[in-house]
């Protein structure tokens, strides 16, 4: 885990990451794309980030906008439930892998058509925890041309923090950021430093994903959500991380940011949206009393009633309360007045790292070019000096 200070719009340094490969024709295209690594299409520099989680497959294609920002050009998101049954069998099922590869083929097509300058594709908890995770990564490369990189939980937490940097409140002393995924929950603490940057000081990755929790605790009946069991497990697994933050006592100096489908869904329900709208939800602040009220209301609904809510839908109906249990466990430990809601995270962290890396590389190249030109001028002047009349001047 990097401990370099970072703050809004100032993520820590990164690696040079590329992620495209595949069969014969796709490999030729990938090679062509990689050889023009710093070229643009029609003067644009496009980047892509793909996040394959336990429950979702998400792609974001952006255009670099200025030195440190980007503008979204295209995106894709599909619930694939890659980790379905993983808790029971320890392996990715054939049906889950087939669903996921179908979604990844769509992503690969979007990437090829966009003419990406640089990209990175990552896989998280399902692939790193499955016995056949590595074999699945090879199959993805063979069938879609995408090279997925399995990242660990600490890297996942750090990238989520980078992606949410622009939401950091400069008036607080500490930030707790949590990302509830399908297979795991990443939780991090950032603390303000003397230079007013926030330093990532602790993080943890816990097996508290919504798919896992639902499979462990939910019953078959329409109201058998298993909420109490999920809440108890969440509190137990979060305990070590929470104990390490025992010095956080002033809730008025603490910001809690939630970045996950659970938190954004709860925000949309609380706001009474007719359908989910990222532009309304991302970056909003929701009073904790409203969040806890919504959780109480949802606990009283059947799965069919949950599915009927336009901001939840059938694909999240059996998972949303698992995420609520994790959120409630965090709130019980840190009863802040409000939560900050982020519809951003890992993908945005990947994109910002690539953009920042290119910006630094471009600055170094410019500096080298200036030094090279100065040295060339000095050498030319030295060679001309014996001839007298043009000494110290360009010919």
Distances from the Cα of 318 to the Cα of 24, 58, 239, angstroms: 41, 20, 25
How far is it, in rounded angstroms, from Cα 175 to Cα 256?
6
Tell me which of 16 and 92 has the higher pLDDT: 92
CA atoms within 13 A on the CB side of 394: 4
- Kindly report the average pLDDT of the chain as a whole number: 84
Helix axes 320-333, 261-271, angle to 10 degrees: 90
Instruction: Tell me the pLDDT tens digit for each residue of 117-133.
Output: 899 999 999 999 999 99
Domains of the chain with CATH codes: 24-151 (3.30.420.40), 165-341 (3.30.420.150)
Instruction: Tell me the pLDDT tens digit for each residue of 27-70.
Output: 445 444 443 444 455 557 899 999 999 999 999 999 988 767 89
Write down the pLDDT at residue 367.
Answer: 52
Query: What would the DSSP string read from start to end of 97-108?
Result: HHHHHHHHHHHH
What's the pLDDT band for 17 if we cut at 50, 70, 90? very low
Instruction: Tell me the pLDDT tens digit for each residue of 280-317.
Output: 999 999 999 999 999 999 999 999 999 999 999 998 99
How far is it, in rounded angstroms, from Cα 292 to Cα 273?
18
Write down the pLDDT at residue 260.
Answer: 86
Mean local confidence (pLDDT), 209-225: 94
Sequence-ordered list of residues with C-beta below 8 angstroms from that of 139, at least 6 positions apart, any chain: 97, 101
Lowest mean pLDDT across 67-81, 170-184, 373-387: 373-387
Instruction: Dig out the tokens for 395 from the structure.
Output: 């010919």
What's the pLDDT band for 111 if we cut at 50, 70, 90? very high
Instruction: Tell me the pLDDT tens digit for each residue of 329-377.
Output: 999 999 999 999 999 999 999 999 999 888 877 656 555 555 555 555 5
Distances from the Cα of 110 to the Cα of 74, 114, 292, 323, angstroms: 8, 6, 40, 31
Q: How many CB atoms lie within 10 A of CB 257?
A: 26
Instruction: Dig out the tokens for 71 from the structure.
Output: 């503008």
Judge whether residue 26 has pLDDT over 80. Answer: no
Judge whether residue 22 has pLDDT over 60. Answer: no
Whether 212 contacts 226, CB under 8 Å: no
Write down the pLDDT at residue 44.
Answer: 75
The two beta strands, 198-206 and 338-341, are unpaired
Is the CA virtual torsion 85, 86, 88, 89 positive or negative? positive
Whether 306 contacts 315, CB under 8 Å: no
Write down the pLDDT at residue 384.
Answer: 33
Mean local confidence (pLDDT), 10-19: 38
Instruction: Tell me the pLDDT tens digit for each residue of 243-278.
Output: 999 999 999 999 999 998 889 999 999 999 999 999
Judge whether residue 95 has pLDDT over 70. Answer: yes
Instruction: Tell me the pLDDT tens digit for each residue of 173-203.
Output: 999 999 999 999 999 999 999 888 999 999 9
118-123, strands of its sheet edge to edge: 69-79, 56-65, 46-52, 118-123, 149-150
Give the 3-state secondary structure of residue 143.
helix
Q: What percent of the chain has pLDDT over 70?
A: 80
Identify the H or E element spanning 191.
strand 185-192
How far is it, in rounded angstroms, from Cα 331 to Cα 22?
45
How far is it, in rounded angstroms, from Cα 184 to Cα 237?
11
Mean local confidence (pLDDT), 149-162: 93
């Amino acid at each position: 885990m990097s401990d370099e200070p970072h703050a809004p719009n100032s993520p820590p340094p990164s690696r040079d990451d590329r992620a495209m490969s595949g069969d014969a024709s796709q490999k030729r295209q990938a090679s062509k794309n990689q050889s023009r690594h710093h070229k643009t299409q029609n003067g644009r520099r496009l980047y892509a980030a793909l996040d394959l989680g336990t429950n979702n497959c998400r792609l974001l294609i952006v255009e670099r906008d200025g030195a440190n920002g980007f503008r979204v050009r295209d995106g894709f998101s599909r619930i694939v439930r890659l980790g379905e049954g993983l808790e029971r069998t320890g392996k990715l099922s054939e049906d889950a892998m087939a669903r996921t590869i179908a979604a990844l083929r769509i992503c690969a097509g979007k990437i090829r058509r966009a003419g990406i300058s640089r990209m990175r594709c990552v896989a998280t908890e399902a692939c790193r925890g499955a016995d056949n995770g590595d074999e699945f990564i090879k199959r993805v490369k063979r069938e879609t041309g995408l090279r997925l990189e399995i990242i660990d939980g600490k890297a996942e937490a750090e990238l989520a923090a980078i992606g949410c940097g622009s939401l950091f409140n400069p008036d607080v002393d500490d930030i707790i950021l949590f990302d509830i995924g399908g297979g795991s929950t990443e939780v991090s603490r950032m603390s303000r430093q003397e230079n007013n940057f926030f330093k990532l000081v602790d993080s943890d990755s816990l097996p508290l994903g919504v798919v896992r929790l639902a499979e462990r605790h939910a019953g078959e009946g329409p109201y058998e959500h298993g909420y109490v069991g999920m809440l108890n497990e969440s509190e137990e697994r979060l305990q070590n991380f929470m104990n390490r933050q025992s010095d956080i006592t002033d809730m008025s100096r603490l910001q809690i940011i939630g970045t996950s489908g659970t938190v954004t869904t709860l925000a949309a329900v609380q706001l009474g949206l007719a359908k989910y709208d990222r532009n309304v939800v991302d970056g909003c602040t929701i009073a904790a009393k409203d969040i806890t009220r919504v959780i109480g209301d949802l606990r009283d609904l059947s799965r069919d009633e949950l599915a009927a809510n336009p901001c939840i839908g059938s694909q999240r109906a059996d998972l949303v309360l698992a995420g609520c249990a994790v959120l409630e466990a965090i709130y019980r430990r840190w009863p802040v007045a409000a939560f900050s809601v982020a519809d951003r995270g890992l993908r945005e962290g990947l994109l910002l790292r690539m953009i920042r890396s290119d910006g630094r590389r471009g600055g170094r190249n410019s500096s080298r070019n200036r030094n090279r030109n100065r040295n060339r001028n000095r050498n030319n002047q030295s060679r001309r000096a014996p001839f007298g009349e043009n000494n110290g001047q360009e010919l």
